[in-house]
Amino acid sequence: MRLTTRPRPVARMRAHASSVGTAAQRTAPARAGRPHRAARRAVRLLGNLVLILVVALFAGLAIGPHVFGYRTMTMLTGSMAPGINPGDVTVAVPEPVSQLAAGQVITYRIPVADHRVISHRVVSVQRQADDSVRIRTKGDHNPGRDPWTAVVTDQQVWRVVAVMPHLGSVIRPLQGPVLRTVFLYVGPAVLALLVLAGIWRRGSAEAPEEDAAAPAGTLDETVIARLEEELGDPAGAQDFLTRWSDLLQARLDRVELALDKGQLSAARECALSMQVTGSMIGLTDFAAAASALESSLLREDRVGATTAFAALRRLAPASARAVRDHLAAQPT
């Protein structure tokens, strides 16, 4: 009996070899590209983290005190060590003088010599018949009390509620006039422009073309959506919008008062705050008007600042209405 084997068809063998080769060719570049994509994602993530940290630092030191009413101060001496060390930054909030008590750490201007501002612990409180309050203070690291008695006549004091270790050592080199301007104004403005450019670039690629321009004061919903996505907290974004709307009139009044008094620096900081926050919530027209005001104030152009502020005031009602309409449309 003769055994025979059926030869494998040549065409089938060639097809099999071709498919194996093609699959290998597809798999190799895909595997080779994975590290590059991972590296790009890591670089992008690192860049986003750096951007968030810079913006958060800027907001906390430059915008936060004007919006939320707290004060920051860099500790220069070791008089409050080890609780507060040189280079630490203290955060103080206003508190009614009626709640002032021994044991609290307050920030105040000393009543002698150069009247510098210090942060020391209250060791005694004496309330007088004329409603004034006399206090004695002491640095935790000092052997004795401060050699003066401070008289508080205001309705509030500044109580230290938080300490940020070593932050002052980081920002101290930035406190020179040139670097301070770059850090507080130029840097954040460039970052805001880069963020807006990225948003507009993605928006132009995704959104269909529109025949008519959006009316002034329109809220860009895509910016809000991206803000919610980056925060990971839609409720937090809505709270931010609510607070922005509630504080808008007070900010405008503060700029107007500063302009009337010739306090261009205070007006400029408030204008910059409105520019940055307006950009963050998609009010591009409002942000552009605030930017024009800030530029005029930076040049100390009072006439231009007055004109720019008038334009900003005209935009404010429509901008606030757009924010309120957005909030009203959100599910409860």
pLDDT tens sequence across 80-114: 999 999 989 899 999 999 999 999 999 999 998 88
| Residue recorded with tokens 């507080």 | 184
For the chain, the structural domain boundaries read 74-170, 176-328
Q: Does the fold of domain 176-328 match that of domain 74-170?
A: no
Helix (H/G/I), strand (E/B), else coil: 109: strand
Q: How far apart are CA 49 and CA 42, in angstroms?
A: 10
Residue 330 has pLDDT above 60, yes or no: yes
Q: How many CA atoms lie within 13 A of 225 on its CB side?
A: 6
What integer pLDDT is reported at residue 280 of this predicted model? Answer: 84
Q: How far apart are CA 232 and CA 216, in angstroms?
A: 29
Residue 125 has pLDDT above 90, yes or no: yes
Of 288, 283, 281, the closest CA to residue 308 belongs to: 288
* Residue predicted with more confidence, 322 or 205: 322
Q: What is the pLDDT of residues 236-250, one digit of tens each?
A: 778 888 888 888 999
Residue 29 has pLDDT above 50, yes or no: no
**pLDDT tier for residue 203 given thresholds of 50, 70 and 90:** low
**pLDDT tier for residue 174 given thresholds of 50, 70 and 90:** low
What number is the average pLDDT over the span 54-59?
63
How many other CB atoms are found less than 10 A from the CB of residue 95? 16
**pLDDT tier for residue 26 given thresholds of 50, 70 and 90:** very low
Write the secondary structure of 222-266 as one string of H (helix), E (strand) and C (coil): HHHHHHHHHHCCHHHHHHHHHHHHHHHHHHHHHHHHHHHCCCHHH
**pLDDT tier for residue 195 given thresholds of 50, 70 and 90:** low
What number is the average pLDDT over the span 45-72?
69
User: What's this model's pTM, rounded to 2 decimal places?
Assistant: 0.41
Hey, what CATH topology would domain 74-170 get? Answer: SH3 type barrels. (2.30.30)
Cis peptide bond prior to 7, omega within 30° of 0: no
What number is the average pLDDT over the span 165-193?
62
Residue 54 has pLDDT above 90, yes or no: no
**pLDDT tier for residue 148 given thresholds of 50, 70 and 90:** very high
Domain at 176-328: CATH architecture: Up-down Bundle (1.20)
